[in-house]
Amino acid sequence: MNYKKVIYKGKQFGELVMFSHTLFSLPFAVISMVWAAGGWPSWWVMIWGLIALIAARNGANAFNRLADRKYDEQNPRTASRHLPQRLLQTREVTLFVIINYFIFIVAASMLNPLCMILSPVAILLITVYSYTKRFTWLSHLYLGFVIASAPIGAWFAVTGQFAITPFVLGTVVMLWIAGFDVIYGTQDIEFDRTHGLWSIPSFFGLKSALWMAKGMHAIMVLLLFSLYFFRDLSWMYLIGLGVAAILLMVEHGIIQPNKPTLMKVASYHLNQVISMVIVACTLLDFFLVS
């Protein structure tokens, strides 16, 4: 076996699905698991829950690259991605999607009957996202909706039951993701309009889109604040929320669509910090303060 080739392919697939962006959904899934279990859940639930989350995300992101490959080839901003550059072949990525979706179904089946029953529905929902930009500017919210399945699914993995808390967390994730996806989408306003793709920035214009993103993030913060009362949390949680709110304001303050590096900071890097701050302070609140 050519180990160098295996490592190279693994690196390519990791970049294809932007594996580091798991930090967007994973922290909220951890919070949901801990709250659902009243502490750390069993190793069985944690391991299979983590496998399910990663496999679903990898499969969905890879499928999105397949669905968008023709647009990625034409967009100067995305022309350097793996499929346009032939760094990975279509058949390889297709097989990668199938394997990850299969792993997701197996992992969900290892958790409880509710997760097993809902796993095909989850695959359908996350796969449909790749086509939403063809017909609706609500694609950003739909993306947030499918990523919101992480904290909701994590709660189901632990309890096998419905509850209010995971859906509040899910709504937080949906608005957060949709908000910074709108920010990221401001870079492609003209391309989207030219190629008949729908987005909030291309449909409403730059200024209106940025105000809508601010509104989504403001509601997100308010929902997180409501959990302070609903979950009877402490000052440590509020510190995390305060830091996250400040970082969101910084994010909105540095937006410049004509500067790709700065947009990556606003859309991705700052939000990775935000999620880690929230999960750290929430876990400290739960295990050390409350």
pLDDT average per 10 residues of sequence, the chain (290 residues): 73 77 83 95 92 92 93 91 89 94 95 91 94 95 93 91 93 96 93 95 95 97 96 95 96 88 83 94 90
Q: Give Dmax over CA atoms of the chain in angstroms.
A: 56
**Integer angstrom CA distances of residue 33 from 81, 124, 152, 157, 283:** 34, 24, 9, 8, 11
Task: Please tell me the predicted confidence (pLDDT) of residue 123.
Answer: 95
Task: Please tell me the predicted confidence (pLDDT) of residue 19.
Answer: 67
How many whole angstroms separate alpha carbon 101 and alpha carbon 62?
A: 11
N- to C-terminal Cα distance for the chain? 52
Task: Please tell me the predicted confidence (pLDDT) of residue 251.
Answer: 94
Domains of the chain, start order: 20-289 (1.10.357.140)
**Integer angstrom CA distances of residue 139 from 1, 28, 116:** 42, 21, 27
Helix (H) or strand (E) holding 219: helix 206-230
Residue 112 has φ and ψ, to the nearest 5°, of: -170, 165
Task: Please tell me the predicted confidence (pLDDT) of residue 274.
Answer: 94
**171-173-177 Cα angle (round to 5):** 120
Task: Please tell me the predicted confidence (pLDDT) of residue 263.
Answer: 84
Token pair belonging to 243: 């830091």
- Total-model pTM: 0.91
How many whole angstroms separate alpha carbon 145 and alpha carbon 125?
A: 9
How many whole angstroms separate alpha carbon 236 and alpha carbon 234?
A: 5
How many whole angstroms separate alpha carbon 70 and alpha carbon 163?
A: 41
* Nearest residue to 183 (alpha-carbon basis) of 161, 199, 164: 199
Task: Please tell me the predicted confidence (pLDDT) of residue 290.
Answer: 64
Task: Please tell me the predicted confidence (pLDDT) of residue 4.
Answer: 73
